[in-house]
Amino acid sequence: MLGLGELEASVMDVLWDAAEPLRVRQVLDELNRHRDLAYTTVMTVLDNLHRKGWVVRDLENRAYRYRAVTTRAEATARSLREVLDSVDDRESVLLHFVSTVSEEESDVLRRALRRKPKKR
pLDDT given for residue 118 in this prediction: 79
pLDDT given for residue 59 in this prediction: 95
Strand partners, 67: 56
pTM of the model as a whole: 0.82
pLDDT given for residue 39 in this prediction: 97
pLDDT given for residue 120 in this prediction: 67
Residues lower than pLDDT 70 in the chain: 1-2, 120
Give Dmax over CA atoms of the chain in angstroms. Answer: 54
6-68: which CATH architecture?
Answer: Orthogonal Bundle (1.10)
